[in-house]
């Protein structure tokens, strides 16, 4: 859903591109907006780093998660649950992606904001990583996703190679930390109503109704 300049609902999503619950949460938000037959909503994205000390060199996501949680069986159980939730929303999680620092992926979103295609590009980046086994640190994979979302290939390549958008990403991440956000996704609606996590559809619907009527 593309952003619009005027809307009764202004929704800011604080997220990280390797967070599966951010992918789920966005799908649930869109489902809730459709359920409500809502007027145009303005959706924007704010960068967050779940692992600010991650390496810029990627490695298989499973290796990172096992190192973090210490138990491959536990990780696979959680992934199976996420896959089931994703299927209900039309998402096909593969968990074959390569994980690393997400700063470059958020830099691409900064370019997408300038072109008013941030929602489309974010959707394609998450699809690339979660469904297509892509590398979140790869300029090639990020560029391919960006083009699918509506950006120009050469402009995206230049943007990434020149390090553009980095200062904006850093400011967004710092702002989220200063506001006390310690987990994502975190949805802020009309600067007042908040939803933490990929909550059930009913939570999104109820909160959006409150925001519309306030």
E strand intervals along the chain: 9-15, 41-47, 59-60, 98-99, 186-189, 193-196
Per-residue pLDDT of the chain (214 residues; tens, 9 = 90+): 444 334 589 999 999 999 999 999 999 999 999 999 876 799 999 999 999 999 999 999 999 999 999 899 999 999 999 999 999 999 999 999 999 999 999 999 999 999 999 999 999 999 999 999 999 999 999 999 999 999 999 999 999 999 999 999 999 999 999 999 999 999 999 999 999 999 999 999 999 999 998 8
185: cis peptide before it, omega within 30°?
A: yes
This prediction has a pTM of: 0.94
Can you give the residue ranges of every domain in the chain? Answer: 9-213
Tell me if the domain spanning 9-213 has CATH number 3.40.640.10: no
């Amino acid at each position: 859903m593309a952003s619009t300049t005027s809307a009764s609902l202004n929704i800011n999503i604080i997220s990280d591109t390797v967070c599966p619950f951010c992918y789920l949460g966005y799908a649930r938000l869109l489902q809730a907006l459709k359920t409500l037959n809502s007027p145009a909503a303005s959706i924007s994205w704010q960068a967050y780093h779940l692992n600010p000390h991650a390496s810029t060199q990627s490695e298989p996501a499973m290796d990172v998660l096992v190192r973090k949680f210490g138990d491959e069986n536990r990780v696979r159980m959680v992934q199976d649950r996420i896959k089931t939730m994703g299927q209900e929303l039309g998402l096909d999680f593969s968990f074959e992606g390569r994980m690393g620092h997400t700063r470059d992926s958020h830099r691409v979103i900064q370019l997408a904001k300038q072109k008013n295609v941030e929602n489309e590009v974010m959707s394609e980046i998450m699809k690339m990583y979660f469904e297509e086994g892509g590398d979140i640190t790869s300029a090639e994979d990020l560029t391919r996703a960006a083009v699918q979302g509506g950006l120009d290939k050469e402009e995206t390549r230049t943007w990434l190679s020149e390090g553009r958008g980095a200062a904006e990403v850093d400011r967004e991440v710092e702002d989220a930390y200063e506001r006390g956000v310690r987990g994502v996704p975190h949805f802020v609606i009309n600067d007042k109503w908040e939803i933490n996590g990929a909550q059930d559809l009913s939570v999104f619907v109820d909160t959006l109704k409150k925001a519309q009527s306030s």
